[in-house]
Amino acid sequence: MAHKSDVKERAKDILEETLDREAVIVLARISEEMQLLFTAHPEPSMEDVERIVTGFFLENGKSEQFIDDWMKTSEEYTATRGLSISDRPKAMLSDFGVFRFMSFLKDKGLTDEQITIVLTGAVQQAAFDHRGSPDEV
């Protein structure tokens, strides 16, 4: 368990060293928005995912080609993970959340290694929050 705590601590250190208060607020907002999406769409259809992803990317100035490429890549990735067709939309929505976090952190100047550590720490924290494990937070 020490390794898991180490990753969470490293993730916390990276965020504290590289992000200002405004950036932390934006990350929290992304998290809240994704939680709301999953609450509103606990079993999203492919149409739900397309509408959500397309709307977000259009609002943020992305091209139709970018959106098509993102959707195809995400769908292919879910297929390679062996997910059933019915589970793919939920996985794609989850991938969308990870993409949003990664893009934001990349825009803030974090390296790929730092982003991996932060996302690993976030996954471990989410697992802790979900299980309620006594592992260090």
54's CB contacts (< 8 A; 6+ apart) are: 67
pTM of the model: 0.79
79's tokens: 């297929």
Region of residue 49 (left: phi > 0; alpha: psi -120 to 50; beta: else): alpha
For 44-100, the pLDDT digits (tens) are 999 999 999 999 999 999 999 999 999 999 999 999 999 999 999 999 999 999 999
Cα first-last separation, the chain: 11
Q: pLDDT by residue (tens digit) across 14-38?
A: 888 888 888 888 888 998 999 999 9
Query: Rounded to an integer, what is the distance from CA 26 to the centroid of its chain?
Result: 13
